[in-house]
A = this chain, B = another copy of it.
Amino acid sequence: MSLSDLSPDALAALHGEQTTAYAELVAKGLKLDLTRGKPAAAQLDLSNELLTLPGEGAYQAADGTDCRNYGGGQGLPEIREIFAELLNVPVAQLVAGDNASLGIMHDTLVFSLLKGTVDSAGPWVKDPITFLCPVPGYDRHFALCEQYGIAMEPVDLGADGPDLETIKRRVAEDPTVRGLWVVPTYANPTGSVYTAEVTEELVSMPAAAPDFRIFWDNAYAVHHLTDSEHPALDVLGMAEAAGNPNRVFVYASTSKMTFAGAGVSFFAGSPANIDWYLKNLIKRTIGPDKVNQLRHARYLGSADGVRELMRKHRSIIEPKFGQVEQILQARLGEHEVATWTRPEGGYFISLDVPDGCAARVVALANDAGIAMTGAGAAFPYGKDPRDRNIRIAPTFPSPDDVAAAIEGLCTCVLLSASERQVATLDRPAGGD
Interface segment, A37-45, A196-204, A408-416? A37-45
- A107: B residues at CB distance < 8 A: 284
Q: In this assembly, does A113 line the interface, its C-beta being within 8 Å of a C-beta of chain B?
A: yes
Q: Chain B nearest CB: distance from A133 CB in Å?
A: 16
Task: Say which residue of B39, B56, B98 sits within 8 Å of A51 (CB atoms).
Answer: B56
Question: CB within 8 A of A262: which of B113, B261, B262, B290?
Answer: B290
Q: Check if A288 sits within 8 Å of B69, measured CB to CB.
A: no
Which of chain A's residues 76-114 have a Cβ closer than 8 Å to chain B?
98-100, 102-103, 106-107, 110, 113-114
Task: Give A96 Cβ to nearest chain B Cβ, in Å.
Answer: 13
Known: A289-B262, A290-B262. A59 touches B51 (CB 8 A): yes
| Residues of chain B lying within 8 A (CB to CB) of residue A102 | 284-286
Known: A99-B289, A110-B110, A292-B292. A71 touches B261 (CB 8 A): yes
Q: Which residues of B contact A425 (CB under 8 A)?
A: none
Given contacts A114-B125, A147-B283, A261-B286, contact A291 B68 (CB under 8 A): no
Contact B288 A106 (CB under 8 A): no
CB <8 Å contact, A58 and B51: yes
A220 within 8 A of B: no
The residues in A between 261 and 315 inclusive whose CB is less than 8 angstroms from any CB of B are 261-262, 280, 283-292
Nearest-CB residue, chain B, relative to A286: B261
A201-219 residues with Cβ-Cβ distance < 8 A to B are: none
**Given contacts A48-B56, A56-B48, are A100 and B286 in contact (CB under 8 A)?**
yes
Q: Report the bound CA distance from A39 to B57 in whole Å.
A: 17
Most chain B Cβ neighbours within 10 Å, of A53, A55, A103, A143: A103
Q: Does A259 contact B (CB under 8 A)?
A: yes
Chain B positions within 8 Å of A44 at CB level? 59, 66, 68-69
* Cβ of A228 under 8 Å from chain B: no
Which residues of the other chain, B, contact A115 by a CB distance below 8 angstroms?
A: 147-148
Interface residues on A, range: 35 or more
Chain B contacts for A381, CB-based, 8 A: none
Whether the Cβ atoms of A103 and B262 lie closer than 8 Å is no
A262 nearest in chain B by CB position = B291
Partner of A98, one of B68, B99, B106, B283: B99
Residues 311 to 357 of chain A near chain B (Cβ within 8 Å) = none
Q: How far is the CA of A259 from the CA of B67 in the complex (A)?
A: 8
Residue of A66, A69, A143, A255 with most chain B CB atoms under a 10 A cut-off: A69
Bound complex: CA A110 to CA B284 (Å): 10
Q: What 1/0 flags go to A120-147 for Cβ under 8 Å of B? A: 0000010000000000000010011001
- Tell me which residues across on chain B come within 8 A of A259, comparing CB atoms: 67-69, 291
Let me know if A260 is at the binding interface, CB within 8 A.
yes
Are A103 and B285 in touch, CB under 8 angstroms? yes
A283, B288: Cα distance in complex, Å: 20
Q: Which residues of B contact A380 (CB under 8 A)?
A: none
Output the nearest chain B residue to A101 by Cβ-Cβ distance: B285
15 of the cross-chain contacts (CB-CB < 8 Å) are A51-B56, A51-B57, A51-B291, A69-B261, A70-B261, A102-B284, A102-B286, A110-B110, A110-B114, A114-B148, A140-B283, A144-B283, A261-B285, A261-B286, A261-B289
Residues of A in contact with B (beta carbons under 8 Å apart): 36, 38-39, 41, 44, 47-48, 50-59, 66-71, 98-100, 102-103, 106-107, 110, 113-115, 125, 140, 143-144, 147-148, 255, 259-262, 280, 283-292
